[in-house]
Amino acid sequence: MALDIRTFGDPVLKTRAALVETFDESLVRLTQDMLTTMRDSDGVGLAANQVGRLKRVLVASVEDEDYVIINPILTGMSGATERAPEGCLSIPGIQVEVERATSVTVSGMDASGEPLQKEASDILARVLQHEVDHLDGVLILDRTDRASRRAAMREWREHLLAQQS
């Protein structure tokens, strides 16, 4: 079942998500619903707080492979970084330049509570960093320069006004 995506201005997006302690059918259902929501929205990643759940759960889908990581921790990052445009399902229609590590290691658990570790590079590394940021209450607007943030906020206001017309 598709879930409602929270948009910029909703306080849940700026709130740090809590560790998942219970691994049960409701967690599996949440991850399935998040994957459906992400796909229906043409996204490549989604964090639980984007759908109003303050749990450290992320899903991603890159190059036809799905990823579900519970309680993710960035345990390693390359020294190399790349600045590239990023969008966000919670700030539709807005893209800003964000600098990210080009490769990362993420540790966490799968939906059944089994430990996992994922080495990621390129787009998957970017997506995982973006979603972990969400779980920490950090948005792409927090990761860009002041001028880009101001321009994005102008675009966002115009987007909201256009929706009201």
Q: Write out the catalytic residue numbers.
A: 131
Rounded to 5°, angle at Cα 139 from 134 and 144: 140
Q: Which of 12, 8, 36 is nearest to 93 (CA)?
A: 8
Q: CA distances (Å), 7 to each of 45, 72, 153, in order?
A: 15, 22, 13
Beta strands 81-87 and 103-109 are: unpaired
Q: Which helix H or strand E contains 54, and what residues bound it?
A: none
String of DSSP letters for 83-97: EEEEE-TTSTT-EEE
Tell me the Cα Rg of the chain: 15
**d(C-alpha 132, C-alpha 95), whole Å:** 18
DSSP conformation class of 98 = E
